[in-house]
Amino acid sequence: MAELLRLKTDEFLFTVKAASVESRSRTLSKTLLIRQCTNSNILVKVTPAIKLSEQPRGFVDGPCSFLHAVEDLNHTDQVNLDSPIFFENTLYQVEWIFLKNVQWASLNHRSKTVCDAFIFTPSEDGLSARLTGTINTGNDVGWLRLPLTFELNGKTQTQHIAFEVLPTKMALHQDLPAMYQAIDKVYPLWRFSLVEKTEQDAATNQQRGHFPLIWLANFAALRERFEQGLKVICAAPHSRLQPTVANIKAAKLKGRLSHKLAEQVKQDFANGQYDKRYAVEKKQLSVDTPENRFIKMAVSKSKRQLAEFEQKLRQSNQAPERQRLSDSFLNELHSWQQPLQKVLGQSFLKEVGAYTGLSRESLVLQQKTGYSAVYRVWQELKFYLDVFGNQSSISMKSVAEIYEVWCFLCLKQILEQDLGFELVENSATKLAQNDFFEYQLKDGFAGAFRFKRSDGVTARLAHEPKFTKKGKSIRSYLVNQEPDIVLEVTLPKSASSDLGSSEEKQFIWLFDAKYRIKTDKNRFDDSNEDIESTDYVPDDAINQMHRYRDALIRLSESSSSSMSGQFAKKSRPVFGAFALYPGFFDQATKQNPYASAIEEVGIGAFALLPSQSGCDKQSGYSGRKWLLEFLQDQIGTAPSTQIGQGHEAMYSVISMAERFYVQEAARIPYYGMSQVLYPDLTMTVALGKYNERFSHCFEQFKNGVLRFYHLPVSTFQLRFKAHVINEVRYLVLIPNHQTSDDISAVWLVRNVQYLKRSEIDVSITGKESDSNELYVLFELGQPFSLKNPVVFLPDGTFRHSIRLTTLSRLESVVRMADVEEVYEEVMVSKVQQSSIK
């Protein structure tokens, strides 16, 4: 292991070692170079400042050092680094070798896992005492603080060493704040955690209100100021002269009496009343002031809050499988209460009454020493991070969790801002606190966002729904499945009926957020795949997408009854499963490396990262363009206001559904079977101009014995691939595209082939050819007649005769020009059509 960091004092030698971090450093440098960003203030913080006996060193056995020379060895509170050496998902060995006679030492980190990884070895056999441990940073980024406590010469000393753990797959100070901002808008306070390995400066845009974790983080940062102010108050509590009324007998009256009181006493004596008491008003110093009542309230509430923290956390931490908190942290919470309890035991506070508020501004609380410090701390604790957020740090959930929820919200934003959906139900914001005061999302479809669009299309976006063996509509027969994100789009019932279905048409896409980048090549990878210069998602993430799509089965409503699926009508509801990963690309100019796989099989990945307004704006970087374009192609955008809810809007919805079903990935059947959307798909097409070469073809057509029909692919100009033509079940042949005719014969299509012109038998073509032009060859069965002939009226172009419709639609019209077409998007554009004669 290379020695990354070496700090030597008179008391200890501190070292950090790890396997080579050069590859991670190069990855981060590449990331920042692409983003045109830099990492500033790369340093190691030391609190309190230490006296070094030598200059700090790093990479002792290597050719270079990542450390700056320290100007003042006698007072070192930070060590600057030229390059980062602390990264996520890296194992570090940390060791303190004590150069003096240390009796014991421990690491007092809040996390029990971190503390348990360190072992103290006392000095023996001439070896120095040492505290040694390992830390795997995992997906925790931010400041990793190592609080050391050791006993030397009967005195307990503490020393904190902190360094910033950086991600390699994103720009920490650009991407994470953008993710936090997006998450805070929808899930306020969700990202905060009680105990993680690292901490970060808390953001300043949180909502006000009582949130224990933020209160605790602020109290930890402000505690010393709070206690110092209380010490000053206890030494010299504020008091003021306050009037008091006492009823005193005449014999005990002292001093000069008022004229009125003297006359009253004289009169009472004259009447023989010697035991009567008289009200006498005096002024005396009293500590029962509004300011002291405030102090008593602030101390009492803080003490009660800390006691509740400790009690609940100790109770939650009892179960062995749930022990997250170290004993040192729980003991620290208890020790914070001792100074407060001591203040509450002060004699002067026993005379102080209950706090009822301040009737006016108090100069004592604002200006007097001690009181002003406590008052300001209380205000900061009261308002949490709204005003003073930068003064405290708090643990955040791991960056993997942050990335997952940000991806979920990114899809929500795309639906609302780019695809024209309106949020109609938001049950996803229901957060609940767990036993460690952390907020948790309500996962599954119960906590989903629901959307609706002006064309009647609805959508549902769910976070981590669970598909089980007992699912009613979608079931996983063997193992429960829990994808990160599920997007479900439902067409209106009218559109589903037009597509020949009695049920609502639903389409599902699954997304799994993977905060990982492929780093190792396997032996099956393409030799041209350069994982050093191109970010790919790990192979296991792609395998997981295949698993999700294969495992989920939809059951029709009639199938999910008491028959328990015995006669179930099963189908596969997932139209695509995609990993989302933090890859760096200029998506405006480059193609998604998974684009081909997404088109062919509906499995792949999308690089997804925030688009920043700072450094990214200079490079034109877009972090979600590929995902946005995919969803636009799949779901489309909201129709114009002119279309509204009319026929054109419905036609747009049907076209959207047809786009789903004509995709290559949706058409892959089991071997030996076929898969179709329209079981009676019918193509109308003309035979062509009559000539001697085609005379036999026209004769076979008239006699009803035509067995083959061929057509150049270039004439049909397919926009999509061969599976659309493969679905054609019937051909309606028009004798001549230049003359009107009554069409009644329908030919059954037995088979469809794609052959070169030279490969088609001359008995079919009427003329030999050595051309390699690709043709579509239809093998035909016996024809049958329509109930009522359909009138064909020419417009002079052969292309006009080619239409895709269904047999049921054809039978419902009188003129062929009136037939409703399907799969219009497989035809060429009107501009291209005009060039085909």
**Is pLDDT above 90 for 605?**
yes
pLDDT value of position 389: 35
Angle (deg, nearest 10), helices 212-235 and 371-383:
170
Q: What percent of the chain has pLDDT over 90?
A: 19
pLDDT value of position 521: 66
Confidence of residue 132 (pLDDT cuts 50, 70, 90): very high
pLDDT value of position 205: 44
pLDDT value of position 557: 57
Gap between the terminal Cα atoms of the chain: 75
pLDDT tens figures, 49-79 = 999 998 888 775 555 566 778 888 898 988 8
Least confident of 28-42, 147-161, 392-406, 717-731: 717-731
Identify residue 419 by its one-letter amino acid code: L
pLDDT tens figures, 467-487 = 888 888 888 888 889 899 999
At 718, list the tokens.
């397919």
Query: In which residue are the tokens 């620290």 written?
Result: 332
Say what the pTM is: 0.72
Least confident of 66-75, 238-247, 547-556, 746-755: 238-247
pLDDT value of position 660: 65
- What does the alpha-carbon distance between residue 203 and residue 177 come to, in Å, rounded to a whole number? 9
Confidence of residue 613 (pLDDT cuts 50, 70, 90): very low
pLDDT value of position 461: 92
The string over 582-598, giving b where at least 16 C-beta atoms fall within 10 Å of a residue's C-beta and e elsewhere, is bbbbebeeeebbbeebb
Name, of 33-47, 146-160, 517-531, the range with top average pLDDT: 146-160
pLDDT value of position 28: 84
R_g of the chain, CA atoms, integer Å: 40
pLDDT value of position 568: 61
pLDDT tens figures, 738-760 = 788 888 899 999 888 888 888 88
pLDDT value of position 386: 38
Cβ neighbours, 10 Å, residue 782: 10
Least confident of 27-36, 160-169, 552-561, 827-836: 827-836
**Is pLDDT above 50 for 562?**
no
Burial (Cβ within 10 Å: 0-12, 13-18, ≥19) of residue 3: middle
- What does the alpha-carbon distance between residue 358 and residue 538 come to, in Å, rounded to a whole number? 62
**Is pLDDT above 70 for 388?**
no
Least confident of 100-114, 317-331, 396-410, 768-782: 317-331
What is the arithmetic mean of pLDDT over 590-597?
Answer: 91
The larger pLDDT score, comparing residue 509 to residue 194, is at 509
pLDDT value of position 65: 64
pLDDT tens figures, 409-456 = 999 999 999 898 999 988 755 666 777 667 777 666 656 789 998 888
The larger pLDDT score, comparing residue 532 to residue 563, is at 532
What is the arithmetic mean of pLDDT over 401-415?
Answer: 91
Compute the mean pLDDT over every residue in the chain, rounded to the nearest whole number: 80
